[in-house]
Amino acid sequence: MVSEMEVPPTTAERLEILRQKEEGLRHPDSPDWFNRDYNEKLKESLMWAAPYDARFPQVRKQRQCFAYYVDFHRCLELMGADYKPCKFFKNVYKDLCPNFWVEKWDELVEEGRFPAKFDLLGMVGELVDAKEIARRESFIRAYNRPYKLLDPFTWPYPEKSAACIGGLSLITLHLNNLWYKKPFYYAIFPRLAAIAAVSTLGYFLGQVREHHYRTRDAVIEHYISLHPQDFDHLKESSGAAFDERRRRMLERLNARYALSEAEAIAVDGTNSAASSRSKSISQFDDLQSRANGLLKSSDACVDHSLLTEIEDALTVLPRGLQSRRLREAYNELRARIQQQVIGNQKKTKFSFSAKPVIKFHVPSPDQKEIVDDNGQSADALQKTSSSAVPFANSLTVTNKEDEFVKLDGKGGEDVLLNGLRKCRVSIPFNASAIHLKDVHDTILVFAPVSSSILIRECSNVILVAAAQQIRIHSSHELKLHVAVRAAVIIEDCDGIQMAPYRVRDVALDWENDNWRKVNDFNWLSAEQSPHWRVIDESLWQTYDIAMCEPCSSPC
C-alpha cells in the first residue's frame, strides 16, 4: 500500500520539469508576455512561484499603461515631435484604447494626436463652452450649487453645519433617555434649548468656513485675472499653452546647460590637471584633508599650487556642505599668508643680498621715489615683501594710498595687491595669476594674465585685464575692460559694468565675446541679472598701460 502512494515532486523537481518543458523567459515586448492560457497554467501548477505579473497580468498592464501614458506626455512636452511611442507602450495601450484608435495607430502618431485623450470631449480641440465652465464651477464650489431642500449636499455650509450638529445632539439625547430609562419628554425644554445653542454655534462655524472658501476663491479669481496665460491649458485642449510651457522650460534648461558648460571650460582652460582632479569627489576630499593639515600645523608653509587647486575646485563645486568647508579652509589659508607677510615686513630689516630681486620701476625721472612710513625705498620694500611671501616667484603690494605703482617682472610671477586706496597700478608683464583684495578707488591696467584673476572685497575699481578667467566675490561698483577665454564669474556683487579689453600696443592672439556672458552665482534665472550690465559702446575706452590712463587720442 505504501509503495502505491504517489509522492508529489519537490519544489526543485517541479522547477526542473518546468524548465525542461518550457522555453526561456519571455521578453516583455513579445506578444506572448500576456498569453492568458500560459498564465492560467502557471497559476494552476506553480502559482506561488510564478512572477507577479504572470499571476496578475491585468494589474501590470493597467499600471504600466498609466505610467507610460504619463511619461509619454512628459517626454512630448520636452521633446515635441521628436518623441515617438515605443512598441511596448503600444501593446499595453491596446486594452484601454477604443478599437478605432488602435486601428488608426500609425495615423494618430503621424498627426501628433497620440495618445488620444480618454474623454471624447478632449478630442475636439476647441475651447470649452462658457456655460459648461459655469456649470462645472457651480458644482466645484459648494456655496454655488443649486439649492435643493431634499439634497443636503446642496445646502450652504452654515445650514449643513447646524443640521449636522443638531441631528447628532438629538440622537445623543435619545440614546441617553434609553440608557437611563427616561421618557422622551424628560427635561425636554432645557434639552431643546441646549440643542438650539449648539446648532447656532454650528451655524456660525459654517459661516466662518464659507467665508474662508469665498475669500480663497476671490484671491484665485484675482490671480487668474492678473495672469490669464498661466491658466490657458485649463481651457484650451489644442496644445498651444503646452507648447509655450515647453518653450519656457527649454530656455531654462539651455541657460542652465550654458552655465555648467562655461564653468567646465573655465576649469579646462586654467589647468587641465586641476580639471581632471576636480571631476572626482575623492580629489575634493584630498584637497580638504591637505588644507586641514596645513591649518593644524602652525609653522607649515602654504604652497601656492594648493591654493590654485582649491580655487579651481570651488569654481566647479556646487553649493553645499563640502564647498562651504573648502571655502572656509581657503579663507583661513589666505589669512595666514597675509599675516605672515605683514609680520615679516615688520621684523625684517634692510640688508644687501646677492640674490636678484624684482624692483619697482619709476615711470619718469621727474617722479619721486616711493618711500614707506619707515623711510625704506621702493627697492628695499620690494626685497622685504618678496622675501616674506611664503611661496616663491610672487610679488606683493600692500597698504598703498594715492600712489602710482608700476611693477616689472620677467613673466610668470603671481601678484598680490592688498589694501590699496586711490592708486594707479600698472603690470606690463605677463603675470601667472593676480589676486586683488581690499582695493578701492583704484585704476588697474594689466598685460594679459596667463591663468586667472581673483577679486575680493573691492569697490570703485577700474580694471583693464585679459585672463583665462576672472572670479569676483563680494565686490561693488567695478568697471571691467576685460577679455576672457572662459568666463567671468561673480558672486555677492552688484554694480558690475563690462567693456572689451583695449590697451595700446597690446594685441591678443584670440578673440571672443565671453566678456559679455557673465555668470552670476546669485542669479540662476535665464533673464538678465540686475547685478551687471554692458557699458554703452560710445563709452568704451583704450588705456595706456604705461600711465594707467585712457588714451587722449585715438589708439
For residue range 313-324, what is the model confidence (pLDDT) as tens digits?
776 666 666 777
CA-closest candidate to residue 17, choices 40, 53, 41, 33? 41
CA-closest candidate to residue 314, choices 354, 257, 364, 274? 274
Lowest mean pLDDT segment, chosen from 86-95, 245-254, 294-303, 332-341: 86-95
Single-letter amino acid, residue 171: I
For residue range 448-472, what is the model confidence (pLDDT) as tens digits?
998 889 999 999 999 999 998 999 9
Helix (H) or strand (E) holding 347: helix 321-347
Lowest mean pLDDT segment, chosen from 166-180, 231-245, 335-349: 231-245
Contact 412, 393 (CB under 8 A): yes
pLDDT value of position 418? 92
Assign 48 to helix, strand or coil. coil
For residue range 418-439, what is the model confidence (pLDDT) as tens digits?
999 999 999 998 898 999 999 9
Q: What percent of the chain has a predicted confidence (pLDDT) above 70?
A: 54
CA-closest candidate to residue 456, choices 479, 445, 440, 480? 440
Helices marked H in 227-320 — which ranges?
240-270, 272-278, 281-296, 304-316
For residue range 270-314, what is the model confidence (pLDDT) as tens digits?
544 444 444 445 667 777 788 887 777 766 666 667 777 787 777
**Which residue is it, cell 583661513?**
332
Dihedral sign, Cα of residue 269, residue 438, residue 369, residue 394: negative
For residue range 60-106, what is the model confidence (pLDDT) as tens digits?
555 555 555 555 555 656 656 555 655 555 555 555 555 555 555 55
CA-closest candidate to residue 56, choices 83, 88, 34, 27? 34
